[in-house]
Structure 1
Amino acid sequence: MLSAERDAYLAHVTVERGLSVNTVAAYRRDLSRYCAFLESRGIDSLVDVRRPEVAAFAEAVGTGEDGGAALSPASASRTIVAVRGLHRFALMEQWVVSDVSVEVKPRAIPKRLPKAISTSQVAAILDVAASGDGVAPLRDAALLELVYATGARISEAVGLDVDDLVLEPGAESVLLRGKGRKERVVPVGSFAARRVEAYLVRGRATFASKGAGTSAVFLNTRGSRLSRQSAWAILKDAAERAGVDDVSPHTLRHSFATHLLTGGADVRVVQELLGHASVTTTQIYTMVTQDTLREVYAASHPRAR
């Protein structure tokens, strides 16, 4: 019974809420663990669950006391979000008369400042990506320039189709599809527009000739859509060649946001550009710029120390 209730909820978030394949897969793992936990306590339906069971599971996933791996605060929080979603769905479907999970909160996640690199380090990475022979540097430079110019997630960039690009002078923009397939149109700067146009004119056809035909902007050597893993490898390789350490798939996205805020952009504008549902998510970047301001103040003001 629990597995059937779980599967009904997963079908709901897939079809009705449009969650990504990766998110649904994570929810399936989380809820399968929850169902196993409940079954170990002799519970085989959500109608029999009470608040203490939900609270005990929330504690167990952080410690591993249920027999599973002890999860990090972020992973444990995601697990409890999935559990609460399942119970809300059960109430909506009238399987239960109340939501027993409503007072069980996810574990607090320590605030970690996003990793951002300097503008000179970004420039070094982009210059290195464009160097070399053949058409691969045209693609790599266009990809990384576009990610930095728009703050796109790497998955959003590799998901682009040619029709998502507008490269007319003065109107350069790109249509990005974020989490839950939520769409946003983001301006594209002149540097990125030139890189992308150069790739489309002089490079993409070479990759496309190896495949069966696709509308994807960024292609691999087989003429198919470039994968997220391959795009991350392109960034990692360019960073290593540029001598920039500790680079992650989100480095250019974080740098995009931090550099905009440092330059005076309004946090709500940055929120829209990043596709964040809440400005609270974006405000963590203001902590980065405040740290920079404090450092400059301490180094520059005659009575700062």
Structure 2
Amino acid sequence: MRAGLPEADRRVVDEFERHLGLERGLSEHTVRAYVGDVVSMLGHAQQSGVGVAGVDLGILRSWLARQREDGAQRTSLGRRAAAVRTFTAWAHRREHLAADPGLRLVAPKRDRKLPIVLREDQAREVMAASAAGAEQLDPVALRDHAIVEMLYATGVRVAELCGLDIDDVDRAKRLVRVVGKGNKERVVPFGAPAAEAVGLWLDKGRQTLARDYSPPAVWLGARGGRLQPASVRRIVRDAVDAVSGVSGVGPHGMRHSAATHLLERGADLRSVQELLGHATLSTTQLYTHVTVDRLKAIHDRTHPRSR
């Protein structure tokens, strides 16, 4: 779609893309999503005979309306509106736009769905099943078990996990240094079971998959390259599916589970926010709805005067 834009608009989009990646330090995935939304909006504007300089609130609203007619969900509409608001604010600062129409753009509120999480007993079963698969010290099984343990122990994002290098893991202090969204770095602790699993992988499994050209990544694929998020999602789903009655939980579900279990056991919201790397406390507060829901279920089931 970018190739179909006028040359002047393409130059502005290219400049915006560099701003997101180099100046703001956003991930490739985020940059690609933002640029895709902006290109879509400019393509819509072009149909009305308008280039970047002519984008106004009416163009933005009609573009969002077209997205809604095409079946976009509220979450998608919210993300797309945020992307074009970022673009119009930047374009105004760079004097590509005389005013910032994004300031008055209101998108539908996002649906706040409760995340899917494992119960504590289910999480224990998943870890046990994964550990059983690694008992024969097969390198891939050792890696997979260490990945599942580390995801649950730390609650890190799958991209953060895949980005780990060996020097990022302090095995003695049981700390891992991760680089999160916006290139923000944080240090996250992990427990003894994860430390044992990671130690076995690094000491007895990793060298089997490593090649001369392998990066210093903690997690390696079968060909010696850095393990990719898609492979981690498959590893987690295989581990979860090995437990009867549990399904549909991927790496993000492990992150949700870790946060929920921390809160259920008394961790304060601010500490969980720091561990997860959330920019705002409101994001972390979503997990309180899960714990309250579970408390209500326990109360309804066990209190003598709950009914």
Q: CA RMSD in A?
A: 1.3
Question: 1:121 Cα deviation (Å)?
Answer: 1.3
Counterpart amino acid of residue 63 in structure 2? F
Q: Is the 8 A contact 1:211 1:224 kept in 2?
A: no
When normalised by structure 2's length, the TM-score is 0.93
Q: Is the 8 A contact 1:125 1:242 kept in 2?
A: yes
SS in 1 for 2:132: coil
Deviations 1:9-41 (A, max 9, x none): 111011100111111111122111111100000
Matched with 2:3 is none
Deviations 1:210-233 (A, max 9, x none): 452320001111111111111111
Task: Give the distance between the partners of 2:193 and 2:222, measured in 1 at CA.
Answer: 25
Within-5 A mapping of 1:239-254: 239-243=240-244, 244-254=246-256
Matched with 2:289 is 287
SS in 1 for 2:242: helix
Task: Give the distance between the partners of 1:93 and 1:300, measured in 2 at CA.
Answer: 62
Q: Is the 8 A contact 2:214 2:226 kept in 1?
A: no
**Does 1:196 find its partner at 2:198?**
yes
List alignment gaps of at least 5 residues for structure 2: 1-7
Matched with 1:226 is 227
Task: Give the distance between the partners of 1:181 and 1:195, measured in 2 at CA.
Answer: 28
Task: Give the distance between the partners of 1:106 and 1:10, measured in 2 at CA.
Answer: 23
Matched with 1:58 is 64
* Equivalent residue in structure 1 for 2:38, among 31, 39, 57: 31
SS in 2 for 1:174: strand
Within-5 A mapping of 1:37-116: 37-46=44-53, 48-64=54-70, 70-116=71-117
Q: Is the 8 A contact 1:151 1:256 kept in 2?
A: yes
Question: 1:7 Cα deviation (Å)?
Answer: 1.8
* Equivalent residue in structure 1 for 2:182, among 180, 187, 201: 180
Task: Give the distance between the partners of 2:112 and 2:87, measured in 1 at CA.
Answer: 27
Q: Which has the higher helix share?
A: 2
Matched with 1:153 is 157
Within-5 A mapping of 1:1-40: 1-40=8-47
Matched with 1:142 is 146
Deviations 1:59-78 (A, max 9, x none): 221112xxxxx322112211
Question: 1:299 Cα deviation (Å)?
Answer: 2.1
Q: Is the 8 A contact 1:213 1:223 kept in 2?
A: yes
Question: 1:83 Cα deviation (Å)?
Answer: 0.7
Counterpart amino acid of residue 229 in structure 2? R
Matched with 1:166 is 170
Task: Give the distance between the partners of 1:45 and 1:140, measured in 2 at CA.
Answer: 48
Counterpart amino acid of residue 292 in structure 2? Q
SS in 2 for 1:180: helix
Task: Give the distance between the partners of 2:52 and 2:88, measured in 1 at CA.
Answer: 11
Matched with 2:5 is none
Matched with 1:126 is 127
Task: Give the distance between the partners of 1:211 and 1:220, measured in 2 at CA.
Answer: 14
Task: Give the distance between the partners of 1:124 and 1:205, measured in 2 at CA.
Answer: 29
Q: Which ranges of 4 or more aligned residues in structure 1 deviate by more than 4 Å?
A: none
Task: Give the distance between the partners of 2:280 and 2:25, measured in 1 at CA.
Answer: 18
SS in 2 for 1:75: helix
* Equivalent residue in structure 2 for 1:272, among 261, 274, 279: 274
Question: 1:297 Cα deviation (Å)?
Answer: 1.8
SS in 1 for 2:104: coil
Matched with 1:67 is none
Aligned residues, how many? 296
Question: 1:296 Cα deviation (Å)?
Answer: 1.7
Deviations 1:240-261 (A, max 9, x none): 1222212123111000000000
SS in 1 for 2:188: strand
List alignment gaps of at least 5 residues for structure 1: 65-69
Task: Give the distance between the partners of 1:2 and 1:127, measured in 2 at CA.
Answer: 55
When normalised by structure 1's length, the TM-score is 0.93
